[in-house]
Structure 1
Amino acid sequence: MPRASVSAEQTAVPKRVSRDGLRRFVETFAEENPPLSLAAADLTINDPARVRHRYGGVFNYLTRVELEVERNVFELRALMPDATETDRLFYEDVWSPQELQHGILLDAVQQGFGMTPATMDLDVSAKIRLVGALSHLPGMLAVIRLLYYLTGAATERSAVIAYSRLAEGLRTMGELAIAETVISPIKRQEPGHFAFYRLSAQVLVGEEGLNAWQLHLARILRRRSFHLVGVNNRRQLADFGDVAHDLDIDRDLLEVTQQVSLVERELLWAQHQGMKVPSYILTALEEAIALSAARTAGPKI
């Protein structure tokens, strides 16, 4: 079976970098990890009905999230009209093309077992545009950048967990072709994205420096604005709960939350001794799982 040529795991990830080092990391990561090729994937599915029954909802959700990268780029342009050159290089020329190909690959798989692609939302909300307008106020752009990095880090950690468990489940089912030539190559690119967000946040807080009021505001906004990846309404929150159940995330929520919240625990909540996880992340996961269970037991949401 054909395999992806180069994995993100081959890109050396430093523990800390300077602004110049961050730029070099992005350039190296882009060079070593071109967007995945659909032609290189083996889309053989031994038992389409079984894969659809077991993981159809997971593929549908992940496909939608990956293909909504187009809206994500529009949102970032609106949120950070004065984004740094490195940020713009990453989300326009590296992250976006890679994520789009992830979505194309996942969509090809789900079409192979008869799933209809989920409807994508490509509209940028008025709230996003308002926040972008506020970025021109003194000190606000740095706060928005930090929230962008924290959101990205949490999203990519969630992706690594999801793709790892999906690949493992497909291997257990004997679906080695899609596990090894679709899911695993996607999974190998996600840690590089996480590294960018983590290193960027460290540079912003450590090298560029944030005032106490900026960090305090970031804590307030992060707590109030956090939402799970791909969730913009109650139905999608229940859908996320379905995915969590199908990937057994509901069995070890605390451990998953610790992984998802790694960067914000380091940079926002380090002074809160004894805090294992931010409550807003754990609460969001618990709500998604509860909503999924309620939908399964009763009328559709």
Structure 2
Amino acid sequence: MPRATITPQQLRDHVLQLGEKHPPIPLDSVDRTVHDPSAVREAFGPVISYLSRVELEVDRNVLELLTLLPDVDETDRLFFADVWQPQEIQHGLILDRLQQDLGMEPAEPNTTVVSPKIRVLGALAHLRPVQEVARLLYYLTGAATERSAVLAYNRLSEGLERLGETATARTVVAPIKQQEPGHFAYYRLAATQMLQAGLLAPWQLRLTQVLRRRSFALVGVNRPGQEADYGRVVQTLGLGDDLESFARDISRVERELLWAGHKGMEVPGYVLAALRDAVGAHRERLATGGAAPA
């Protein structure tokens, strides 16, 4: 069935609705009551720590966006400045407060250092054709990131419910996971609208494929050791039981849009390889006795 045409106005309306329906979650609106902190820390400490850091790194993400998209359009700016960034910051603050309640160290996010590969691409982004490629890469990265977050928060919520930690599951995790699908929808709609409007020539799409394959990174994996941390999250949440299914889910947008001409492709190889490498790094760290503290 053909995909309905998405207009710029529909995209803007989606952003405005997100802002109206899902304001940032106030810190005092959540119930951080934890009946057994040690049990929660043992079961999900590394997950909460990883998620809080990633959410709090949103300020660096904004710097990266401004580097990649020097002529960012008003709808993108409205989304990341007025909706996404304020929501994500609150997610991070709430989770960071929770992990400290559990007796863990506060998050140490990287909020200022933009990676060299972003700076290199940003140096060329003043050229309009390059900026359009960067914009599509931004949407694809955002879609994969947000879908990963939805799956992680779903598993975390289920696990907390099993432990009997209903306050944390229902007033901390549930409100956060309720906001993530709207972010995913924005990236999916924006990427689709770009391609429907014919904003990229065939050579730009080929360049996007090459850059995506070479630059793909799992969310939050930017420094040494973080790959193994991500692998630990995957294993802790049981997402490693079927990595192909997980990879298929988080890459659905790029599979449908960027690789539409590759019939039969269920999972981009670079996505599955990154997940396998992360799980492998986690297992290697365990085998060498270098597991990160919970």
Please indicate, yes or no, whether the TM-score normalized by the shorter chain is above 0.5: yes
Q: Which residue of the partner structure matches residue 173 of structure 2?
A: 183
Q: Which residue of the partner structure matches residue 121 of structure 1?
A: 110
Residues in 1 aligned to 2:224 and 2:143: alpha-carbon distance in whole angstroms: 23
Residues in 2 aligned to 1:300 and 1:36: alpha-carbon distance in whole angstroms: 36
Q: 1:130: how far off?
A: 2.4
TM-score, structure 2 as length reference? 0.95
| 1:153 corresponds to 2:160 | no
| Contact 2:216–2:271 under 8 Å retained in 1 | yes
TM-score, structure 1 as length reference? 0.93
Residues in 2 aligned to 1:50 and 1:138: alpha-carbon distance in whole angstroms: 53
189, 199, 205: which one pairs with 2:195? 205
Q: Which residue of the partner structure matches residue 14 of structure 2?
A: 25
Q: For residues 253-272 of structure 1, what are the structure 2 equivalents within 5 Å?
A: 253-272=243-262
Residues in 1 aligned to 2:238 and 2:151: alpha-carbon distance in whole angstroms: 11
Letter in 1 for 2:229: D
Q: For residues 203-282 of structure 1, what are the structure 2 equivalents within 5 Å?
A: 203-282=193-272
Gaps of 5+ in 2: none
Residues in 1 aligned to 2:105 and 2:38: alpha-carbon distance in whole angstroms: 14
> What is the aligned residue count?
288
Q: Which residue of the partner structure matches residue 184 of structure 2?
A: 194
| 1:286 corresponds to 2:276 | yes
| 1:57 corresponds to 2:74 | no
Task: Give the superposed CA RMSD.
Answer: 1.3
Q: For residues 127-166 of structure 1, what are the structure 2 equivalents within 5 Å?
A: 127-166=117-156
Residues in 1 aligned to 2:4 and 2:55: alpha-carbon distance in whole angstroms: 27
| Contact 1:16–1:199 under 8 Å retained in 2 | no
| Contact 1:157–1:260 under 8 Å retained in 2 | yes
Q: 1:299: how far off?
A: 4.3
69, 81, 93: which one pairs with 1:80? 69
Q: 1:297: how far off?
A: 1.1
| Contact 1:150–1:201 under 8 Å retained in 2 | yes
Q: Sequence identity of aligned pairs in percent?
A: 53
Gaps of 5+ in 1: 1-13
Residues in 2 aligned to 1:169 and 1:299: alpha-carbon distance in whole angstroms: 26
- SS of the equivalent of 2:286 reads helix
Structure 1, residues 221-278: CA drift from partner, whole Å, max 9, x if none?
0000000000013300000001001000110111111110010001111111111100
Q: 1:16: how far off?
A: 5.1
Q: Which residue of the partner structure matches residue 44 of structure 1?
A: 33
| 1:103 corresponds to 2:92 | yes
Q: 1:161: how far off?
A: 0.3
| 1:174 corresponds to 2:171 | no
Residues in 2 aligned to 1:44 and 1:173: alpha-carbon distance in whole angstroms: 13
The runs of 4+ residues in structure 1 deviating greater than 2 Å are 14-17
